[in-house]
Amino acid sequence: MKRISNSNYNTEKKTMVFLRYSLLLLTISVILSCQNRKSTYQPISQVPDLEMPDNHLKFKTIENYKNYKVIATHFRTDKNELRYIMANNLAYQALNEKRPLPDGSIIVKIGWDVKQMPNFKAALEANHLKRIEYMIKDKKQFGANPGNWGYARFVKSDNQYKAWKKGTASCISCHNIAKENDFIFTKLQKLD
Ligand code: HEC
């Protein structure tokens, strides 16, 4: 039988101590990062239980939309509406890395009418929220649609949301204009 030499024994002991300390540090950092995550503010969106009449997409699918990233702002001069375009994490990362949008990508559009700022007439500000709409890439459900996109629109008036009763055929046909860009008009708006 081979005997363990003294120096080997010392090296093993040092390795064990090193491993124990590493494990301790790892545990502490995991606990700290969990605490950090808990303290990150996550606004909750309470969306009504509505669904589109034709493709049955639900408002609840984007329940978490207030945590999405704003990726662009638009203004529709014909509708006099300010729009925020927001993306879920999957879509945001892909856009940032200039990759094609993967299955599960969601792009949300929120529209507000505008009014003059009461104390500075030349400035406009958001007035009433008029619509929340979204596109979701889902090959399983929307494999027959261009780009595998499903569409949903929820309009708001008198403080109440309603699903867009005309359905989504017009969404699909007009978004065809943007087919060179995966049926999306939005480009990631530069912040620098
Ligand atoms: C007549 C053309 C037209 C129709 C119909 C239309 N859209 Fe769009 N959509 C646009 C244009 C133009 C933009 C970019 C400007 C803006 O933000 O309004 C846009 C932007 C969007 C965006 C942001 C992503 C993008 O493509 O830039 C979403 C989400 C969206 N539309 C959803 C819908 C839904 C849902 C419907 C149907 C209920 C619909 N759209 C119908 C023209 C259209």
Angle, CA of 54, 147 and 88, to the nearest 5°:
85
Pocket test for ligand 1, best of 185, 188, 189 (most atoms within 8 A of CB): 185
pLDDT tier, 5 (very low <50, low <70, confident <90, very high otherwise): low
Q: What is the mean pLDDT of residues 32-60?
A: 82
When pLDDT is cut at 50, 70 and 90, the band that residue 34 belongs to is: low
155's CB contacts (< 8 A; 6+ apart) are 130, 131, 161, 162, 164
43: confidence class by pLDDT, cuts 50, 70, 90 = confident
168 lines ligand 1 (CB under 6 A): yes
Phi, psi at 135, each rounded to 5°: -120, 135
The response to whether residue 189 sits with its C-beta less than 6 Å from ligand 1 reads: no
pLDDT at residue 36 above 60?
no
pLDDT at 11: 66
Indicate whether residue 69 lines ligand 1 (CB < 6 A): no
Strands of 65-104 (E only): list them.
69-76, 81-87
User: What pLDDT, on the 0 to 100 scale, is given for residue 41?
Assistant: 81
Tens of pLDDT, residues 128-138: 999 999 999 99
pLDDT at 23: 72
Write the DSSP symbol of residue 118. T
Q: Write the single-letter amino acid at 4.
A: I
Q: How far apart are CA 110 and CA 86, in angstroms?
A: 8
Question: CB burial class (10 A; 0-12, 13-18, 19+) of residue 108?
Answer: buried
> How far apart are the C-alpha atoms of 162 and 151, rounded to whole Å?
15
- Among 41, 56, 76, 71, which residue's Cα sits nearest to residue 174? 76
Ligand 1 neighbour 83 (Cβ under 6 A): yes
Instruction: Please report, as a single letter, which amino acid is at residue 98.
Output: K
pLDDT of residue 26: 72
The CATH code for residues 59-181 is: 3.50.70.20
For residues 136 and 41, the answer to whether their CB atoms sit within 8 Å is no
Ligand 1, residue 109: give the atom nearest the CA.
29
Q: What is the pLDDT of residue 10?
A: 67
Contact 59, 134 (CB under 8 A): no
The pTM for the full model equals 0.83
Best substitution site from 92, 171, 181 to test ligand 1's pocket, by max atoms within 8 Å of Cβ?
Answer: 171
Rounded to the nearest integer, the mean pLDDT of the chain is: 90
